[in-house]
Amino acid sequence: MTFPTQSRAVIIGGGIVGCSTAYHLAKIGWEVTLLERHKLTSGSTFHAAGLVGQLRTSANITQLLGESVKLYGRLEAETGLATGWKQNGGLRLACNAERWTEVKRQATTARSFGLEMHLLSPKEAQKLWPLMQVEDVVGAAFLPTDGQASPSDITQSLAKGARMNGARIFEDVDVTGIVVERGRAIAVETKQGRISCEAVIVCAGQWTRALCAGIGVNVPLVSVEHQYMITEAIPGVTATLPTLRDPDRLTYYKEEVGGLVMGGYEPNPIPWATAGIPENFNFSLLNSNWDHFTPIMELAIGRVPALQTAGVKTLLNGPESFTPDGNFILGEAPEVAGLFVGAGFNAFGIASGGGAGKVLAEWVAGGEAPYDLWPVDIRRFGRNHGDVNWVRTRTLEAYAKHYTTAWPAEEFSSGRPLRRSALYDRLRAAGACFGEKMGFERPNWFAAPGEDPRDIYTFACPNWFNAVAREHNATRDAVALFDQSSFAKFYLIGRDAEAALSWICANNVARPPGRLVYTQMLNARGGIECDLTVARVAQEKYYITTGTGFATHDADWITRNLPQGLDAHLVDVTSAYAMLALMGPRARDVLRQLTRDDISNTGFPFGGARRINVAGAPVTALRVTYVGELGWELHIPTEFAATVYDALMAEGAAFGIVNAGYRAIETLRLEKFYRAWGADIGPDHTPLEAGLGWAVKLRSDTPFLGRAALEAQRLAPLRKRLCAFTVDDPDVILLGRETIYRDDSRVGWLSSGGFGHTIGKPIGFGYVRNPDGVDDEYLVSGRYTLEVATTRVDCRLHLAPLYDPGMAKVKA
């Protein structure tokens, strides 16, 4: 095969992910060249244990893993090359009450996502896995469609399938550089020559970060050692044994040639290659580290006593790339067009390889993700992820938490504090318990004097419940101050700013200066890519604010979709402004003490956006709310923030002002039926389905991205709609992902869950789905129940906010 000088796509890396991407992209019909610096599988793939589990906390990532299972089940028949795929099912144990609650919640999540999962008694679990002792087991879950595979065989099989569809695969070709011209990847360099291309797809495992850093693309992953041992044959270990995960003992198992593979996630992981990956590290392993593995081994012997006497073939130590949040990294890099990444697989690259390669290929070919892949999207990272030491610190914490209980609202603790608002010290002194997003410390709730500002995690009612209730009620009845300085903030500046934004915004932003608009930005399918506010602060200047976590994503969406040739430039001003949200019926009374500007309802109506002076500071005030009360977002040049904060707190004292945090924002917005992007709305949901049709300019003639899809959707009945649900029993805890039943048929799951302190009830949002349409009549005529941790509870459906300031504030 002659070495090409041109190929439509070049894939770098011949592990399972590169080969899967080549397989799928070639099937789509693209011309594909895959370059592997050594031999296929010689990175992390050859030494993987090969467990394939599917259930994740996101429906779409669970679907992606399900795609792997479907592919592995049919690949051998297609290519003639064995894959070692065995669908023996997967067992998961619970050894204490909290873990059992977690497993039951996972079983409900599985039901929500249509994945089969059964709860078993310890004895039933033991029947499936006779070698284990179950004295300490409270219960178990069994996923019959999970399985195991031979990682190298699957990869070779995928490579063959790729070749059968026309892909060219070259081994012993090291990509030495990626060529970028005017912000676009256009070629790769190798010793054998340059290959020009339309898309470069980097599937280079743990080498990806260094390779991409060379062209200014940040892929925050680091290498960590991971060990498992392989035993000689053990009597009683059969070829049909399910895989086993025993998270309370930090271990996993699978059968291999009559023996066991047993590995674990130790609480003190060892980073690898901190000074760079050595040259020629291929088909290579690290030295076995028995000292480090002994605590895992002891835990395992407690479960499987036969391990005590089993012969050990090897203790395998292989490095793998891990990421700061435990999820892999997919998508087109925000820094360079045409440069795609599929890396950082956190020791589940075999499980995800089939599905990840499929969606990555579709992403390349289609120009956008085929469905919402936000949990793994490369744009979920931000400026805090640029420092490799910080990334390593956080990644080691994420690794250590692999098998610990995933608590509701759990925060990471490492690498903090990193980004601090100008008010951090004040808020800390006021009793703030901080959470962190994008490296930014944000108050979650405030402890009363004598209370400890510390989260105590539980699946039951948490220790911050009363504090959040206090802040919630103060916002409804008096006034509260929220430090939301971490918000991402941009200016869009230029002669054509209005024309540019009019194309990418679904709502009408062609308003006079001084007006603010809440809008979505849609993809061509009509799905919601961004959900933000746009304030026109001057004729040629818009001020855009969006959620902390969406800084990279939204900036990328906007810049990519600005029509060519227009004079409109996006500038990130996140760090230039602090933001204090002053919210509550007494907000005007407080603000009036500190400004001479007209802030009356006529002088500063809802949707206004104006420069006012507050306590001597020049402030951009936006009359908007996410909590459902009178209020202003005060965007304050950072150096004035402390002065404004002090003045608001001092003047607000007479009106009952309190500090309030993000957990109160959550309970408040749930009562108002305000949607959250990434949970209730996203690329797979249109504004019509989400109940946001009122914020779309379909009645005007203005063309906008996504318009055609919405017009088409309007012609047929909607097949899903976002609804709110309340449960009368206040002790039911809704966290999201609970299954929604209408007249005993499964129709969806909760995208958000929480508690409304004004209405005194648990609240959830979720899409109700029906292929024949979901009009109001259909929605309100059903009898609804929610499945919560496998138990059904009655609930009521609502199509309108559960609370309005005009309503009598009667606790139900």
Ligand X SMILES: Cc1cc2nc3c(=O)[nH]c(=O)nc-3n(C[C@H](O)[C@H](O)[C@H](O)COP(=O)(O)OP(=O)(O)OC[C@H]3O[C@@H](n4cnc5c(N)ncnc54)[C@H](O)[C@@H]3O)c2cc1C
Nearest to 615 by CA among 579, 656, 646, 571: 646
- Residue 178 in contact with residue 196, Cβ under 8 Å? no
- Name residues contacting ligand X, limited to 218-257 (CB under 6 A): 226, 228
Which of 134, 204, 341, 747 binds ligand X (CB under 6 A)? It is 204
Helix residue ranges, H only, 120-233: 122-128, 151-164, 208-213
188: helix, strand or coil: strand
Q: Is residue 211 a contact point for ligand X (CB under 6 A)?
A: yes
* Interacting residues of 801 by C-beta distance below 8 A, sequence separation 6+: 628, 671, 672, 673, 724
CB of 134 to ligand X, least distance (A): 23
Compute the C-alpha angle 155/226/263, nearest 5°.
Answer: 90
CB of 298 to ligand X, least distance (A): 19
Phi, psi of 147 (to 5 degrees): -165, -160
CB of 39 to ligand X, least distance (A): 8
| Shorter beta-carbon distance to ligand X: residue 169 or 664 | 169
Q: Helix 349-366 vs helix 151-164: angle between axes, to the nearest 10 degrees? A: 20
| Shorter beta-carbon distance to ligand X: residue 13 or 139 | 13
Q: What CA–CA distances, in Å, run from 581 to 145, 445, 448, 471?
A: 48, 15, 21, 13
Distance CA 633, CA 582 (A): 6
Q: Is residue 137 a contact point for ligand X (CB under 6 A)?
A: no
CB of 340 to ligand X, least distance (A): 13
Which of 23, 30, 129, 348 binds ligand X (CB under 6 A)? It is 348
Q: Is residue 269 a contact point for ligand X (CB under 6 A)?
A: no
CB of 14 to ligand X, least distance (A): 5
| Shorter beta-carbon distance to ligand X: residue 37 or 385 | 37
Which of these ranges, 42-50, 505-513, 526-534, 649-657, lies near ligand X under the rule CB under 6 A?
42-50
| Shorter beta-carbon distance to ligand X: residue 196 or 559 | 196
- Residue 521 in contact with residue 562, Cβ under 8 Å? no
Q: Is residue 351 a contact point for ligand X (CB under 6 A)?
A: yes
Q: Is residue 38 a contact point for ligand X (CB under 6 A)?
A: yes
Q: Is residue 369 a contact point for ligand X (CB under 6 A)?
A: no
Q: Is residue 754 a contact point for ligand X (CB under 6 A)?
A: no
CB of 205 to ligand X, least distance (A): 3
| Shorter beta-carbon distance to ligand X: residue 349 or 608 | 349
- Name residues contacting ligand X, limited to 141-180 (CB under 6 A): 174-175
Which of 9, 22, 32, 49 binds ligand X (CB under 6 A)? It is 49
Which of these ranges, 69-77, 347-355, 562-570, 720-728, lies near ligand X under the rule CB under 6 A?
347-355
Q: Which residue has the tokens 């002088």?
A: 603
Which of 24, 47, 92, 588 binds ligand X (CB under 6 A)? It is 47
- Residue 627 in contact with residue 411, Cβ under 8 Å? no
- Residue 33 in contact with residue 12, Cβ under 8 Å? no
Q: Is residue 48 a contact point for ligand X (CB under 6 A)?
A: yes
| Shorter beta-carbon distance to ligand X: residue 319 or 439 | 319
Q: Is residue 260 a contact point for ligand X (CB under 6 A)?
A: no
CB of 658 to ligand X, least distance (A): 47
Which of 9, 15, 640, 784 binds ligand X (CB under 6 A)? It is 15
- SS3 of 706-751: the string is CHHHHHHHHCCCCCEEEEEEECCCCCCCCCCCCEEEECCEEEEEEE
The secondary element (H helix, E strand) that includes residue 602 is none
CB of 390 to ligand X, least distance (A): 23
| Shorter beta-carbon distance to ligand X: residue 175 or 438 | 175
| Shorter beta-carbon distance to ligand X: residue 117 or 175 | 175
Distance CA 59, CA 127 (A): 30
Nearest to 60 by CA among 734, 553, 675, 682: 682
Which of these ranges, 47-55, 382-390, 467-475, 723-731, lies near ligand X under the rule CB under 6 A?
47-55
Distance CA 98, CA 460 (A): 9
CB of 294 to ligand X, least distance (A): 17
- Residue 117 in contact with residue 106, Cβ under 8 Å? yes
The b/e string for 643-669 (b: 16+ C-beta within 10 A; e otherwise) is: ebbebbbebbeebebbbbbbbbbbbbb
Helix residue ranges, H only, 627-722: 641-652, 662-671, 707-714
| Shorter beta-carbon distance to ligand X: residue 245 or 672 | 245
Which of these ranges, 115-123, 198-206, 458-466, 672-680, lies near ligand X under the rule CB under 6 A?
198-206
| Shorter beta-carbon distance to ligand X: residue 195 or 732 | 195
Contacts with ligand X by CB under 6 A: the residue count is: 40
Q: Is residue 318 a contact point for ligand X (CB under 6 A)?
A: yes
Question: DSSP labels for 423-486?
Answer: THHHHHHTTEEEEEETTEEEEEEEPPTTS-------SSS-TTHHHHHHHHHHHHHSEEEEE-TT
Which of 14, 354, 678, 766 binds ligand X (CB under 6 A)? It is 14
Q: Is residue 51 a contact point for ligand X (CB under 6 A)?
A: yes
Q: Is residue 349 a contact point for ligand X (CB under 6 A)?
A: yes
CB of 53 to ligand X, least distance (A): 8
Helix residue ranges, H only, 114-253: 122-128, 151-164, 208-213
> Token pair of 60, please?
């779409």
Which of 66, 139, 147, 205 binds ligand X (CB under 6 A)? It is 205
Q: Is residue 331 a contact point for ligand X (CB under 6 A)?
A: no
Helix residue ranges, H only, 478-580: 497-504, 551-561
Which of 7, 33, 44, 395 binds ligand X (CB under 6 A)? It is 44
CB of 384 to ligand X, least distance (A): 24
Which of these ranges, 43-51, 103-111, 533-541, 698-706, lies near ligand X under the rule CB under 6 A?
43-51
Distance CA 525, CA 40 (A): 37
| Shorter beta-carbon distance to ligand X: residue 256 or 332 | 256
Q: Is residue 345 a contact point for ligand X (CB under 6 A)?
A: yes
- Name residues contacting ligand X, limited to 541-600 (CB under 6 A): none
* Interacting residues of 756 by C-beta distance below 8 A, sequence separation 6+: 667, 670, 671, 726, 762, 763, 802, 803
CB of 332 to ligand X, least distance (A): 17
Q: Cβ atoms within 10 A of the Cβ of 218, count?
A: 22
- Distance separating the N- and C-terminal Cα atoms of the chain: 75
| Shorter beta-carbon distance to ligand X: residue 323 or 486 | 323
Q: Is residue 35 a contact point for ligand X (CB under 6 A)?
A: yes
- Residue 347 in contact with residue 316, Cβ under 8 Å? no
| Shorter beta-carbon distance to ligand X: residue 352 or 739 | 352
- Residue 341 in contact with residue 199, Cβ under 8 Å? no
Distance CA 678, CA 633 (A): 22
| Shorter beta-carbon distance to ligand X: residue 363 or 662 | 363
| Shorter beta-carbon distance to ligand X: residue 68 or 502 | 68
Which of these ranges, 197-205, 268-276, 656-664, 732-740, lies near ligand X under the rule CB under 6 A?
197-205
Q: Is residue 446 a contact point for ligand X (CB under 6 A)?
A: no
Q: Is residue 65 a contact point for ligand X (CB under 6 A)?
A: no
| Shorter beta-carbon distance to ligand X: residue 146 or 471 | 146
CB of 89 to ligand X, least distance (A): 15
Strand partners, 501: none
148: helix, strand or coil: strand
List residues near ligand X by CB under 6 A: 12-18, 35-38, 42-45, 47-51, 174-175, 203-205, 207, 211, 226, 228, 282, 316, 318, 320, 343, 345, 347-351
